[in-house]
Amino acid sequence: MKLRPDGSEAATYPGTLVAETPDWVVARAVWTFRRMEFDYWTFEPGDCLFEYFAKIEPFNAFVVFSQEDELKGWYCNITHPTTVTSDSVFWHDLYLDVVQKRDGEIMVLDEDELAESRLHQTDPSLHRMITNARDSVVEKMRHGAYPFSEFDNPNG
């Protein structure tokens, strides 16, 4: 279940457990929501996502494939570490997203939303955690570190 920054439910969808380690949960899900066009790619019903949920680090990472098995890229959410129960995964989305397109280009999204949240004034430590996580994700993408090492990484 995806939670908004305020903790309210944003989305719930089914997935299949692929693997679990002490630090990560990996699930497979199919995009069942409506078609959504963005600057970096289009999410289509039937797209396949392998979702890497970090239990310790403050991000998750979804590698996205088309129905034809064509890599679209990586989509990462900056989050609180994921909570895992016997039948669910809960993750708390925290404003920023990082996308790595198939050609390797890395884009940081929603910095305007983080600024509008005024966290830099109201909760400087959370703001710092979010920006540090963003920087860590970008470096992991650039160097093909886990989980970005799990599929063809254009920079790896």
Tens-place pLDDT, residues 70-127: 999 999 999 998 998 888 899 999 999 999 999 999 999 999 999 999 999 999 999 9
Check pLDDT > 50 for residue 134: yes
Q: What is the mean pLDDT of residues 10-26?
A: 92
User: Using CB atoms within 10 A of its CB, is residue 90 exposed (0-12), middle (13-18) or buried (19+)?
Assistant: middle
Q: What are phi and psi of 32, to 5 degrees?
A: -115, 0
CATH of the domain spanning 2-143 = 2.40.380.10
Instruction: Write down the pLDDT at residue 150.
Output: 87
pTM: predicted TM-score of the whole model, two decimal places:
0.91
CA distance 149 to 156: 7
CA distance 75 to 51: 9
What is the token pair recorded at 59? 């991000």
If we measure between CA atoms, which residue out of 26, 72, 24 comes closest to residue 48?
72
